[in-house]
Structure 1
Amino acid sequence: MDFFNSALGKNITFVRPEYFIISGFIGIPNINYYYVFLFFVYIVSVLGNTAVMAIIYLDHRLRTPKYIVVFNLAFVDLCGSSALVPKVLDIFLFNHQYIPYADCLAFLFFCYTCLSMQVLNLVALSYDRLIAIIYPLHYQVKVTHRFMLSLIACFWVFVITVLLIAVGLLTRLSFCKSVVINSYFCDHGQIYRMACNDYKPTDYFSWFLVVLIFWLPFTFTLGSQIPPNARILNLSLTSVFPPMLNPIIYVLQTQEIKESMKKILKFRKKSQITVKREIMK
């Protein structure tokens, strides 16, 4: 069977696979028990997140900025589980390892979108907690419904945009070697590393996303959970270091300041020479 369909002309070695093969769970002993576990987890996730969304929607007392984020997190968890688990069970339980090229990219997009939004929702919750601790008297002013809705909307726009770029970069790759993805879903890293042509832009963008969407939010979320004493030390450092660095970063980069410093140093040097001459006389 032909795995590849030529996307461009004969003189251009650019090919896209007709489909990919997902091989992540193949060969693992007693894996069927794990599928039962996945199904159980999925059912609990659906029921739990649906219940959370329903409670927040029906109880007007819970329509606060914090629970806007909780509602969105439950929605994202529900969508993420529904995008991943049923497809995984279909692939491995019913031996549908062959997934069309376009379907694989769509699968990748929805899975990573939900995963990224889960992380950013935790950032929003950590921010809410941080403001409540540091500015308890100004919490109602700083964390409003409008602010939280705008923040969540910005997260959605950002995630969808960057993942569309990531998928777009994948469509520029040529696959002429293997089409077997050694993962349980259409893993972004597994896909672009199978490419025959240069995938460095995709690799660099992938690392950029890892830092921006996972490591920075993880650091912020972890920092928001620190004990009060350590928080005080951290806040004190952020108060001390900027005044020290600002003159170096901003003032010394100004041309007028540089010229003035040169004149002062030259004048001081001339004065020292004059004093030495007077002493020698």
Structure 2
Amino acid sequence: MQNQSYGVSLELYLDPFSIPPGGKYPIFFLGVVIYFFCIFCNLTLLALIVFQRSLHKPMYFILLSLPVNDLMGISAMLPKVLSDIVMGTNKVYYPLCVLQGFLLHIYGGGVLFILAAMAFDRYVAICMPLRYSSVMTPRAVISINSLVWGLDFILIVSLFFLHTRLPRCKSSIMNVFCDNPSLLKLACGETTVNNIIGLFNTAVIQLISVSVQMFSYVKILLTCMVTRRSETKTKALHTCVAQLVIFIVFEVVGTFTILSHRFKNVSADLQKIMGMLIFLVPPLLNPIVYGLNTREIRRSLLRVLRNKVLV
């Protein structure tokens, strides 16, 4: 009702990329290839974990959240961006814009919480191998997954619920997709509370994720230094390097995107591209890093392919 009192339409206008003549269709087809490759890889990883009984272990039940989260993130962002590029529409209705922003922020928080849960699982497996089965029970795994998604959902809902108290007086989204900072710029009321809660939620997510991962990796490193088993060291090295690569890439891109909204001299196209990378790089890398780089998943995939060929 507040929005209607300001006479603002539900139709919003996104800020398109500056694409040179003749570049629209090559960019579109490249984006389609990237999207379907991500969908194929993440669905394959998801199907392997669900249908292969050899992967029905705590580690993989926690890992299961990663492809689900990646599929949500890239599907909430890329199809709409590609559609706008090829159609040249650059329009979106406000409720759909809020939904897209909500899903993208759920994805962002989910990445960090899931990586933290996976790091804790590896800590127990490598530092307390004899107690692993007693610590990572089915009930514990369910509790960890529930905590990951529940805490993420509560933080993001509280962030977007604050939008209901603000009247809108603008219709231009200064991005190629909708997110909380872009939606906040549509408001003509006082946004201090929204900014504080947004920064607080970001700090909570970062603090929990970074603390859990630092604790886990330091403990794993110390275990590697005192153990003489080369197998344990190799296993730990693969675990730490894989997760740290994903975490560092996500953090660098995410930090730049968050800070770029607070500086006016950042190139608009660079801001858009860096913002998109948050939803493109992890869904591309995760199935490869955690799929092909994990021995049991790789063996399961080869076994399925071998059986298909023999049939």
Secondary structure of 2:111's partner? helix
Q: Which has the higher contact order (CA 8 A, sep 6+)?
A: 2
Secondary structure of 1:99's partner? strand
Flag the 1:144–1:107 CA change in 2: closer, same or farther, 3 A: same
Which of the residues 119, 126, 133 maps onto 2:126? 133
Equivalent position of 2:29 in the other structure? 36
Equivalent position of 1:174 in the other structure? 167
RMSD: 2.5
- CA distance in 1 between partners of 2:214 and 2:19 (Å): 35
Which of the residues 137, 152, 155 maps onto 1:159? 152
Equivalent position of 1:55 in the other structure? 48
Equivalent position of 2:143 in the other structure? 150
Which of the residues 202, 207, 211 maps onto 2:199? 207
Equivalent position of 2:14 in the other structure? 22
- Answering whether residue 183 of structure 2 is matched by residue 191 of structure 1, we say yes
Equivalent position of 2:96 in the other structure? 103
Secondary structure of 2:166's partner? coil
Q: Which moved more, 1:49-58 or 1:220-229?
A: 220-229
Amino acid at match of 1:228: L
Residues 104 and 179, structure 2, Cα contact 8 Å, conserved in 1: no
Which of the residues 213, 217, 237 maps onto 1:221? 213
Secondary structure of 1:171's partner? helix
- CA distance in 2 between partners of 1:15 and 1:200 (Å): 24
Question: Could you say which structure has the higher helix fraction?
Answer: 2
- Answering whether residue 69 of structure 2 is matched by residue 94 of structure 1, we say no
Task: Return the TM-score normalized by structure 1.
Answer: 0.71
- CA distance in 2 between partners of 1:157 and 1:170 (Å): 21
Secondary structure of 2:130's partner? coil
Amino acid at match of 2:184: Y
- CA distance in 2 between partners of 1:188 and 1:15 (Å): 22
Deviations 1:164-190 (A, max 9, x none): 2222111221222x4222222102112
Residues 100 and 179, structure 2, Cα contact 8 Å, conserved in 1: no
Question: Percent of counterpart pairs with the same letter?
Answer: 22
- CA distance in 2 between partners of 1:208 and 1:90 (Å): 34
- CA distance in 2 between partners of 1:231 and 1:196 (Å): 55
Which blocks of at least 5 consecutive residues in structure 1 are unaligned? 233-281
- CA distance in 2 between partners of 1:114 and 1:126 (Å): 18
- CA distance in 1 between partners of 2:117 and 2:161 (Å): 28
Equivalent position of 1:45 in the other structure? 38
Equivalent position of 2:289 in the other structure? none
Flag the 1:58–1:230 CA change in 2: closer, same or farther, 3 A: closer
Q: Compute the displacement of 1:209 (Å).
A: 1.6
Amino acid at match of 1:190: S
- CA distance in 1 between partners of 2:9 and 2:198 (Å): 21
Amino acid at match of 2:18: G
Q: Compute the displacement of 1:84 (Å).
A: 1.6
Amino acid at match of 1:204: I
Secondary structure of 1:169's partner? helix
- Answering whether residue 71 of structure 2 is matched by residue 78 of structure 1, we say yes
Which blocks of at least 5 consecutive residues in structure 2 are unaligned? 226-311
Residues 18 and 100, structure 1, Cα contact 8 Å, conserved in 2: yes
Runs of 4+ in 1 over 6 A off after TM superposition: none
Flag the 1:230–1:170 CA change in 2: closer, same or farther, 3 A: farther
Secondary structure of 1:137's partner? helix
Residues 6 and 16, structure 1, Cα contact 8 Å, conserved in 2: no
Flag the 1:137–1:183 CA change in 2: closer, same or farther, 3 A: same
Residues 16 and 174, structure 1, Cα contact 8 Å, conserved in 2: no
- CA distance in 1 between partners of 2:117 and 2:165 (Å): 34
Flag the 1:170–1:7 CA change in 2: closer, same or farther, 3 A: same
Amino acid at match of 1:80: G
Residues 53 and 74, structure 1, Cα contact 8 Å, conserved in 2: yes
Amino acid at match of 2:37: V
Q: Compute the displacement of 1:211 (Å).
A: 1.3
Residues 49 and 74, structure 1, Cα contact 8 Å, conserved in 2: yes
- CA distance in 1 between partners of 2:31 and 2:141 (Å): 33
